[in-house]
Structure 1
Amino acid sequence: MPSVLVSTEIAIGTLLVLAVVVLATTYLRRRYIAKGLPLTLCGLRCTQTDRWRLGLIRFGDNALEWHTLGGVSVRPRHRWLRQRLILDAPELLVGRDSIPLLPDASRVPCTDGDNDFELALQGPAYTALRSWQEAAPPGYNVNVA
């Protein structure tokens, strides 16, 4: 009987250590990705037929970077240069298109010169993105519709 008790304690201890490691890794990854720059939750859809993928966007000095929400990679999955990024007017997500983790989010059609994609952002995050886009340093060829 004691061997069953010890095995159970080892299993529970292992699960607790694993949970702490996952939480610590997630926290440290998010801190490393932010690097003191604004970071917010958003959805990304590369085509109209794709599903929304949740991730984090970071407003860098010269580029907007999108990181996956999960995983251990600290490299951005997508990177769009500020001077090539064109933002269209936002449209509120309704019905099947809405994202449960982003209530009252808006779909923002974007173009990177070569690629079309959509971002799903809540009101304050959209305002931050628009402000970041419009606040480009002088001399940049910034396009804001």
Structure 2
Amino acid sequence: MPSALISTEVVIGTLLVAAVVVLATTYLRRRYIARGLPLTLCGLRRAGTERWRLGLIRFGDNALEWYTLGGVSLRPKRRWLRQRLLLEAPLLLQGADSIPLLPGASRVPCSDGDHRFDLALQGPAYTALRSWQEASPPGYNVNVA
């Protein structure tokens, strides 16, 4: 009987330590990715697919960077240069196209040269993206439709 109790305590202790490690890693990864720059939750969908992938976008000095929501990678999965990024008018996500973690989000059709994709952003995040796009340094060729 005492051996079963000790085994249970070891299992519970191990699960608690694992949960703390996962939470700490997630927090530290997010802090490292942000590095003092604006960071927000968004969805990404490539052209021709129906599946949204949740992630974080960071508004850098000259590029928009998209990071996966989960995982431990500190490098962006996608990176779009500000001067090549074309944003179209947002469309409200409704029905089966909506994302539960992004209530009231809008789909923003985008292109980066030859590649087309959609971003799903909530109202304030879309406003931040549009402002970031329009506030490029003088001399940059910015495409805002």
TM-score by length of 2: 0.99
Q: Structure 1 stretches (4+) deviating beyond 4 angstroms?
A: none
Structure 1 residue 16 displacement after superposition: 0.2
Counterpart Cα distance in 1 of 2:63 and 2:70: 21
In the alignment, what sits opposite 1:56?
56
Residue ranges of structure 2 left out of the alignment (5+ in a row): none
Structure 1 residue 50 displacement after superposition: 3.2
Alignment deviations for residues 70-105 of structure 1 (CA, whole Å, 9 cap, x no partner) = 000010000000000000000000010000000010
Secondary structure class of the residue paired with 1:83 = coil
In the alignment, what sits opposite 2:65?
65
The answer to whether 1:118 aligns with 2:121 is no
Query: Aligned runs of 1:1-145 on 2, under 5 Å?
Result: 1-145=1-145
Structure 1 residue 37 displacement after superposition: 0.1
Counterpart Cα distance in 1 of 2:50 and 2:71: 20
Structure 1 residue 114 displacement after superposition: 1.7
Letter of the 1:137 counterpart: P
Structure 1 residue 63 displacement after superposition: 0.2
Residue ranges of structure 1 left out of the alignment (5+ in a row): none
The CA RMSD measured in Å over matched residues stands at 0.6
TM-score by length of 1: 0.99
Structure 1 residue 19 displacement after superposition: 0.2
Counterpart Cα distance in 2 of 1:98 and 1:67: 20
What number of residue pairs does the alignment pair up? 145
Letter of the 1:95 counterpart: G
Aligned identity (percent) is 83
